Amino acid sequence: MEFNRRQWLKTASLAGGLTLINGISGIQALTNDEIKKFNPRKLNNPIKLSSNENPYGPSDRVRNAVKNAFDDGCRYPYGYADELADMLAKKHGVEKESIIITGGSTEGLKIAGITFTADGGEIIAAKPTFLAMMQYAEMWGANINWVPVDKNMGYDLEEIEKRITNKTKMVFLCNPNNPTSTLLPADTLVDFCSSVSKKTIVFSDEAYYEYIDDPNYPSMVELVKKGENVVVSKTFSKVYGMAGMRIGYLIAKPELAQIIRRNVVAMSNVYAIEGAKEALRDKAFFKFSLEKTKEAKQLIYATLNHLELPYVKSSTNFIFFKSGRNIDILGKQMLDKGVRIGRAFPPFYDWCRISTGTIEEVVAFNKALISVYS
Ligand SMILES: Cc1ncc(COP(=O)(O)O)c(C=O)c1O
């Protein structure tokens, strides 16, 4: 395992070289104006840092849009979804027929999985990763071919490509990956997807794409535009802070989108759709969410450095760190201190996934972690 002390020191300096911090000094507190403007929740009890949500959301503008849509609650959502699909098509530079609106991206993952494996066959996926597609497809008879992540917790693309056979119906990539928070190198990713999509369908789950630091990092939507066999999922649950509203979407070339769309079950609802439209317009909240996530990650890194706990440099709104303690035990210890942390992600039973919350929640997490380890 390459996460030795030298590695974490290196990672720590990459992460901004923070000095710690016992009473967590150096925290940039929210100004009153920010608090008023973005209306963060009161501290929940327990503080929930277990599901990679964004507790700053939904933004005030989204809330107002939802309130203004109340009268439309008697209408079916299709026309409203059509307008949102237009906006999304423009945003991504694709045809409207390429967009499939779903009840959270989870619905997109599930229906894409069964669309291509309902008659049997196999999905190749990394382990650990986000499981919604594979668990659902397995229930409908698919086999899952699991490829362990490499020693740096990244995808082993070579091994994935090697395992493709005529049984393979889909290769599932989650990039950045949940729970490891790792990001594939841009050029390797593009080459891999171009090559593999000639043999099978590549699914790219981009739930955390907005958190990637490099503004030029490619979305696999670029390959959709070239007509390749690539399906991309996106969500309003993370940076837009709308996880409870259940809205996400898939992007695929129209021929592929048409086949997947037939399997939509839930779709979304008028309130979420109207909220999503406003979320796309609300650039200030988007920027605010990203800034707060960065700030929260720096605070968590600083605490992990202080405790000498190795971690993976995160491209998401959560951090995966080596707790060195069984995760179920740590989970109970942290819950006793009022903080709910991520579950176990086999085979990494002594690693912990911690989501960023509000700055106040992260400060509470840091204090709880320090006390559990002292
Ligand atoms: C990688 C990944 N994809 C998809 C989802 C599901 O998001 P949604 O709320 O859009 O269903 C999650 C949720 O945590 C996730 O981590």
**Are 345 and 351 contacting, i.e. CB atoms less than 8 angstroms apart?**
yes
Per-residue pLDDT of 274-325, as tens digits, reads 999 999 999 999 999 999 999 999 999 999 999 999 999 999 999 999 999 9
Q: How far is the CA of 239 from the centre of ligand 1 (A)?
A: 11
Rounded Cα–Cα distance for residues 100 and 260 (Å): 8
Give residue ranges with CB within 6 A of ligand 1: 52, 104-106, 130, 174, 178, 205, 207, 235, 237, 243, 248
Q: Does the structure show a pLDDT above 60 at 15?
A: no
Beta-strand pair 351-355/168-174: unpaired
Instruction: Residue 331: count other Cβ atoms within 10 Å of its Cβ.
Output: 20
Q: What is the pLDDT of residue 358?
A: 95
3-state secondary structure of 319: strand
Rounded Cα–Cα distance for residues 43 and 53 (Å): 14
Residue 285 CA to its chain's centroid (Å): 18
* Residue type present at position 64: N
Task: Return the ligand 1 atom nearest residue 243 CA.
Answer: 9
Q: What is the pLDDT of residue 34?
A: 52
Reported as a pLDDT band with limits 50, 70 and 90, residue 100 is: very high
φ, ψ (nearest 5 deg) of residue 184: -75, 145
Rounded Cα–Cα distance for residues 237 and 12 (Å): 29
**Are 368 and 357 contacting, i.e. CB atoms less than 8 angstroms apart?**
no
Residue to mutate, 50, 51, 131, 237, ligand 1, most ligand atoms under 8 Å from C-beta: 237
Residue to mutate, 100, 107, 110, 130, ligand 1, most ligand atoms under 8 Å from C-beta: 130
Per-residue pLDDT of 133-178, as tens digits, reads 999 999 999 999 999 999 999 999 999 999 999 999 999 999 999 9
Per-residue pLDDT of 28-53, as tens digits, reads 444 555 544 554 556 677 899 999 99
Q: How far is the CA of 331 from the centre of ligand 1 (A)?
A: 22
Could you give the count of Cα atoms lying within 13 Å of 14 in the half-sphere of its Cβ? 12
Mean pLDDT of the chain: 91
Task: Return the ligand 1 atom nearest residue 177 CA.
Answer: 1
Which residue has the CA at smallest separation from atom 2 of ligand 1? 207
Exposure letters 74-92 (e unless 16+ CB within 10 A, then b): eeebeebbeebbeebbeeb
**Between 360 and 3, residue with greater pLDDT:** 360
Q: Which residues have a Cβ under 8 Å from the Cβ of 254 and sit 6 or more positions away?
A: 95, 97, 98
Task: Return the ligand 1 atom nearest residue 106 CA.
Answer: 11
Reported as a pLDDT band with limits 50, 70 and 90, residue 119 is: confident
Rounded Cα–Cα distance for residues 187 and 109 (Å): 25
- Closest to 232 measured CA to CA, from 168, 181, 173, 157: 173
Reported as a pLDDT band with limits 50, 70 and 90, residue 5 is: very low
Q: How far is the CA of 21 from the centre of ligand 1 (A)?
A: 32
3-state secondary structure of 30: coil
Q: What is the pLDDT of residue 45?
A: 79
Q: What is the pLDDT of residue 21?
A: 36
Q: Does the structure show a pLDDT above 50 at 348?
A: yes
Q: How far is the CA of 22 from the centre of ligand 1 (A)?
A: 34
**Are 69 and 274 contacting, i.e. CB atoms less than 8 angstroms apart?**
yes
Residue to mutate, 53, 106, 182, 233, ligand 1, most ligand atoms under 8 Å from C-beta: 106
Report the percent of the chain where pLDDT is more than 90. 87
